[in-house]
Structure 1
Amino acid sequence: MQFFAKIARTSRRMQAVRLFFVCRWRLLLTALIATLMAWKQIFCLCAIVYNYSYWVLFYSTVKIAAPQELSSNSLAPKILHQTWRDESVPIKWKNAQASCKSMYDDYEYQFWTDASALELIKQRFPWFLETYNAYPYNIQRADAMRYFILFEYGGMYLDLDVQCTKKLDYLRDYNFTAPKTYPIGFSNDVLVAKPGDPFLFHLIHNLHFWSRWFAVKYATVMFSTGPMFVTVQYSLFDKKKGVTLLPSEVYGKYMQGPDSAFIHLRGSSWHGQDAKFVFWIERYWIQLSVFGGLVFLIAALSLFRIYNTQSKQNHRVVEVGSAHTISLNNAG
């Protein structure tokens, strides 16, 4: 009786082993299906990781916009674009607006509202209208509209919270220029471009693909339409020679000096509590990366140990089952 009881236990163990392997394959199949369904999100996340690696390794290769004598055949036209949701510009930004209009008084001034920008999308870019209207945040439309405006008309775009202190006419000789931001990449509050610029073409035709949720509002805005969207797209763009970077000392947001062309007033009116959390992550990203790496390593080693132990136990069960089967056959 004891012998048959051992056979029964061995049989149950063999069934458990078979069930383990069946469940494992089902889990793998489920993971594969989930990956195929979420491949766009996964691609975006991989592109973001690649982008950070690119800027760390190849920042020195980015073309810098340098002061030079303006050529007679400038690429960007003399047009200054600014945007707001309506005609009523907030009082706190009126002086900044006036300073830029005065500094670029020989430029055609175009002021865009949400209504006029929407009309531009309807008339010239109807293929983007559905995505444009579907953005959950107004700031995403504000970001997107500047790319379409510059692609259509060219010229200079400035946020209303940017005060002008020095004229940068020489930027009109470049295809596309955006300022360096912290910690990496481009900002999008100061842009200069020629109409129909290839990089702007790349931007506007990737807005739809990147129109997705990135866990929190701040990250969603930044990576779907904002500065990090521009930065990631640059790292993926194959014709980088046509894109130039406005140095920090000229941009003036993080350092002020004799070369600074702008004073940046308090803006970022769309930032919420999630932005503070993201800034905290940026501040301690090295420590968090080390901590996360250690946690991942410990978890991986623990899982490997569990899997290895389970495999050895399963192997012993198979050996015992085989031995009992042979004994039973011999007894028969």
Structure 2
Amino acid sequence: MPAITVRFLGLAALSAVILLNTQAMIHIGHFFSGPSLTQAAVASTFHTAAEDKRQSIPKIIHQIYHNGQDHSNETLPADRDEVHHSCTTTNPDFEYRLWTTNSSRQFVETHYEWFLETYDSYTCPAQRLDTLRYFLMRHYGGIYIDPNYSCSRDIQPLLYYPAWVMDSHHGISGARPHHPYWVMIIESLAPRGHRFQSPNLPITHSGGPEFESAVWKRYHTQLPTKPRKEDRVYRIKMGHREEAFFKPNARFKNPWDNNFEYIALGCLLLFAMFTLWVARSWQARKTHQREYQRLLLARDQAGGYGTV
């Protein structure tokens, strides 16, 4: 393969890495817009001025568990049941709702029949989990907690903000019912879901972090300069462990979940580095061959390796 072709492939791969990385940074930037609070500030404000605040979010904890092997089994496994108990123990006055495969589909069919065909058409179970969370937030409100996280303290202080997400963590969110942000999300689901057909991209683009990040940007772009408090969406930062309302459960965390783009970036970067190395090696070999041919020609003309 000519060196110029190899070099072109390397530069093309490197350009793709730069473009994808720029896109990822843009999405991260979108998700970091809007008002932000630390968890310590949320707790402090609640304990010092609770009488002046009005509760926005109902006392409901939502969790989703779809048994992929047995849809009729609506019992939590023992390890995930620990997460359930951590939240009900620290928040005994909250209503706890577990959404299984059957109850989830029944909810969509009963309240959002127009979306049922799209819901059933998802090829990846993770897409149903992502989109179901949006509908639950929009319809009932409350706090959604992914099984990747458990409750470490009373989460009541989080009820006094109209809507919030946990600082780029896709698995924790809260909202009052019918908040316009969650309305915009579910109204954006169906058309977006049919635009991506690859086996990996739909997870992030049809209902996952990339999708939510894009809607987040659009929502905040359309807000007035001084929006009403009930229309705001707050970003609550992850703090120190002793300040946190939630703690991650590493046993459930899959490092490959929703990381296809980062894997692709790594592969492209390695390919770019390899092709550029091949191009340089090819060029060095050609240069060495030309110098050797020039040396042989000089030897033949002078009857030796050149004149002294």
* TM-score, scaled to structure 1: 0.61
The CA RMSD over aligned residues, in Å, is 3.4
Larger Rg: 1
1:174 corresponds to which of 133, 150, 161:
161
Q: Any residues of structure 2 matched to 1:265-304 within 5 Å, and which?
A: 265=249, 266-268=251-253, 271=256, 278-281=261-264, 288=269
Using the alignment, how far apart are the partners of 1:268 and 1:210 within structure 2? 27
1:193 matches 2:180: no
1:79 matches 2:60: yes
Using the alignment, how far apart are the partners of 1:119 and 1:191 within structure 2? 22
Using the alignment, how far apart are the partners of 1:113 and 1:59 within structure 2? 29
Q: Taking structure 1 as reference, are residues 267 and 214 closer, same or farther at Cα in structure 2, changes over 3 Å only?
A: farther
Q: Taking structure 1 as reference, are residues 141 and 188 closer, same or farther at Cα in structure 2, changes over 3 Å only?
A: same
2:242 corresponds to which of 245, 253, 258:
258
Using the alignment, how far apart are the partners of 1:49 and 1:232 within structure 2? 15
Q: Which runs of 4+ in 1 moved over 3 A?
A: 48-52, 58-61, 238-241, 268-272, 275-282
Secondary structure, in 3 states, of the residue corresponding to 2:85?
helix
Residue in structure 1 matched with residue 14 of structure 2 by the alignment: none
For residue 208 of structure 1, report the CA deviation from its aligned partner: 0.7
Q: Taking structure 1 as reference, are residues 61 and 141 closer, same or farther at Cα in structure 2, changes over 3 Å only?
A: closer
Using the alignment, how far apart are the partners of 2:27 and 2:120 within structure 1? 32
For residue 276 of structure 1, report the CA deviation from its aligned partner: 6.3
2:31–2:216: 8 Å Cα contact kept in structure 1? Answer: no
Q: Taking structure 1 as reference, are residues 54 and 84 closer, same or farther at Cα in structure 2, changes over 3 Å only?
A: closer
Unaligned runs of 5+ in 1: 1-45, 181-185, 250-255, 296-332
1:164 matches 2:151: yes
- Percent identical across equivalent pairs? 23
For residue 247 of structure 1, report the CA deviation from its aligned partner: 0.3
Q: Taking structure 1 as reference, are residues 216 and 269 closer, same or farther at Cα in structure 2, changes over 3 Å only?
A: same
Unaligned runs of 5+ in 2: 1-18, 67-72, 277-308
* TM-score, scaled to structure 2: 0.65
Secondary structure, in 3 states, of the residue corresponding to 2:241?
coil
Equivalent residue letter for 1:233: V
Higher relative contact order (CA 8 A, sep 6+): 2
1:230 matches 2:216: no
CA offsets, 1:202-255, max 9 Å, x none? 1111111221436442x3201211222211210121355611112022xxxxxx
Residue in structure 1 matched with residue 235 of structure 2 by the alignment: 245
For residue 271 of structure 1, report the CA deviation from its aligned partner: 4.4
Residue in structure 2 matched with residue 329 of structure 1 by the alignment: none
Q: Taking structure 1 as reference, are residues 203 and 61 closer, same or farther at Cα in structure 2, changes over 3 Å only?
A: closer
Residue in structure 2 matched with residue 121 of structure 1 by the alignment: 108
CA offsets, 1:130-162, max 9 Å, x none? 111111111111111111112111111111231
1:207 matches 2:189: yes
Using the alignment, how far apart are the partners of 1:150 and 1:130 within structure 2? 20
CA offsets, 1:253-295, max 9 Å, x none? xxx53212222113256947xx66643456x59x949x69xx9
1:152 matches 2:139: yes
Using the alignment, how far apart are the partners of 1:61 and 1:168 within structure 2? 24
Q: Taking structure 1 as reference, are residues 64 and 156 closer, same or farther at Cα in structure 2, changes over 3 Å only?
A: same
2:109–2:116: 8 Å Cα contact kept in structure 1? Answer: yes
Using the alignment, how far apart are the partners of 2:260 and 2:31 within structure 1? 26
Using the alignment, how far apart are the partners of 2:87 and 2:65 within structure 1? 15
Using the alignment, how far apart are the partners of 1:131 and 1:171 within structure 2? 32
Using the alignment, how far apart are the partners of 2:59 and 2:206 within structure 1? 29
